[in-house]
Amino acid sequence: MSDDQCILVLDEGTTSTRVILYSAAGDVLAIAQEELTQHYPAPGLVEHDASEIWERTLRCARAMVERAGSPSHIAGIGVTNQRETIVAWDSKTGEPVTRAIVWQDRRTEEQCRALRDAGHEAAIQHTTGLLLDPYFSASKMAWILRNVPEAAALGDRLAFGTVESWLVWKLTGGLHISDVSNASRTSLFPLVGSTWDEGLCDLFGVPRSALPEVVPSADAFGRTLPEMFGAPIAITGLAGDQQAATIGQGCFARGEAKATLGTGAFILSNMGTTPPHSTHRLLGTVLCELGGARTYALEGSVFAAGSVIKWLRDSLGMLSSSAESEALARSVADSAGVVFVPALSGLGAPYWQPEARASITGLTFAATRAHVTRAALESIAHVFHDLARAYAADGAGWEVLRLDGGMSANDWLAQDIANVLALRCERPTDVETTARGAAIFAAIGAGLFPDLATARTFIPRTDVFEPRMPEVERGERLGAWREALGE
């Protein structure tokens, strides 16, 4: 990889779109970022404007191409994205027909419950590694077909895709693809196989004609239209955000695990080339596919992490900024008996209770906003503890947990996770490993690296958090947590 070549990454998060320019050595040269509007039309419903995602991403990308000096200096573009969010658009006009339904959205609970009651969950889990939950994409597509007449009327002109698929379509003027990691989050794609499962498409009522072609994680997929950046640029890497973060953390070998703390929190453990089948309500998923070889991961998905702190800040007015949460947690010796259950959009792994609602228990006159904030942060370590037990029971226990994501910059939280797990935790100096993983895939797809092992030079150094909580205190914390869960 020559010194003047760069990698451009489009990092499509839940709350913002960011475009990052990386040097040949893996250094961040520049970042452009814009927030995304969150639409909450009713309780449990979360939507995005797909046109807004596209327009703001393009604006950021153009700024970074200009920063690179020329499109010719961009060796390849990588795209990583919020995974299960679904966009529906007209393939003739290239315009969305309704708002995107975000991964957090719970509107399809009834449909998923009906499929569970009809006995379909076991077969779906065996084929896809996933459980029946509104989190995944297929039920969102089915809802659009039933409830958006404009979508149903399009017939073969209807296109569905996750956010990376939508952006590639717009960048190239009509290339309809999705990578294996995103496809594996739809409930329509088998862990073993190269295309959509006809039986699952029929079960959910999703036409295969609307779905993209499934492609590997790195390749020369296509080129952007010349008018996008002044000259075509190759698109060479695609990955769902959590799979990208796993690679960005250097979890290249079986058994290596990471936890990304963003809007939600997501733990993935590399499971090698064997498709995982959890018996403890974890998810089997595709980690990546390179050189014709598919690697898998076992995943635990937590629906609310950073969004809890955002809720305390924006909805309750308890914080002036998200960063204040660390200072408040440090300002008190403990949570004064307050326990927070972060089920603001149901509970994900390992509980899978979409109907669960958040609670704050143990309140007395002694409790302050500092205690409530500390309890909210403590809840992340409590959920991680329950996930650790599920992973161990599935034969995939952690020896080290690598932390990343914006929320992991909170030193108090990183130490609390190490304390409650009684496990060494590591955090890279660049906690935004999602974009870094997409950069690695893009560099491989552009031919700048032959494989992951060679791309390890992109992995930053780490800080270490060793557990130092007395066993009695840990037991008291977890006992109060169990009681708050009603166990």
pLDDT in tens, 260-316: 898 889 899 999 999 998 888 899 999 999 999 999 999 998 888 999 999 999 999
Residue 449 and residue 426 in contact, taking contact as beta carbons nearer than 8 Å: no
Measured between alpha carbons, how far is residue 312 from residues 177, 206, 261, 323, 359 in Å? 38, 38, 17, 12, 13
3-state DSSP assignment of residue 116: helix
Strand duo 462-465 + 401-404: pairing:
unpaired
Strands (E), 13-94: 16-22, 28-35, 47-48, 74-81, 87-90
Amino acid code (one letter) for 483: E
In this structure, what token pair is assigned to residue 319?
Answer: 């914080």
- Per-residue pLDDT at 2 exceeds 80: no
Q: What is the pLDDT of residues 182-205, one digit of tens each?
A: 999 999 999 998 899 999 999 999
Strands (E), 303-382: 339-341, 359-361
Residue 484 and residue 359 in contact, taking contact as beta carbons nearer than 8 Å: yes
| Length in residues, the chain | 487
**For tokens 């956010």, what's the residue?**
163
3-state DSSP assignment of residue 119: coil
pLDDT of residue 333: 94
- Per-residue pLDDT at 221 exceeds 80: yes
Q: What is the pLDDT of residues 90-142, one digit of tens each?
A: 999 999 999 999 998 999 999 999 999 999 999 999 999 998 989 899 999 99
Q: What is the pLDDT of residues 354-400, one digit of tens each?
A: 788 999 999 999 999 999 999 999 999 999 999 999 999 998 999 89
Residues 6+ apart with CB under 8 A from 43: none
Residue 31 and residue 19 in contact, taking contact as beta carbons nearer than 8 Å: yes
Cα separation of 124 and 271, whole Å? 20
Global model pTM greater than 0.85: yes
pLDDT of residue 1: 44
Phi, psi of 107 (to 5 degrees): -65, -20
Residue 263 and residue 306 in contact, taking contact as beta carbons nearer than 8 Å: yes
Cα separation of 360 and 376, whole Å? 9
- Please give the mean pLDDT across all residues of the chain: 93
Nearest in space to 335 (alpha carbons), one of 356, 302, 360, 317: 360
Q: What is the pLDDT of residues 136-186, one digit of tens each?
A: 999 999 999 999 999 999 999 999 999 999 999 999 999 999 999 999 999
Q: Which H or E run includes 462?
A: strand 462-465
- Residue with the bigger pLDDT between 3 and 375: it is 375
- Per-residue pLDDT at 9 exceeds 90: yes
Cα separation of 259 and 92, whole Å? 40
Cα separation of 463 and 455, whole Å? 21
Nearest in space to 302 (alpha carbons), one of 345, 239, 340: 345
* 314: DSSP letter: H
pLDDT of residue 3: 59
DSSP, residue by residue, 24-58: TTS-EEEEEEEE---B-SSTT--EE-HHHHHHHHH
Amino acid code (one letter) for 16: S
pLDDT > 90 fraction of the chain, expressed in percent and rounded: 80
Measured between alpha carbons, how far is residue 450 from residues 71, 72, 329, 445, 454 in Å? 23, 21, 45, 9, 7
Mean pLDDT, residues 403-432 taken together: 92
pLDDT of residue 417: 97
Reported as a pLDDT band with limits 50, 70 and 90, residue 430 is confident
- CB atoms under 10 Å from CB of 43, counted, come to 7
- Domains, the chain, ordered by start: 6-242 (3.30.420.40)
Strand duo 234-240 + 218-223: pairing:
antiparallel
Q: What is the pLDDT of residues 69-81, one digit of tens each?
A: 999 999 999 999 9
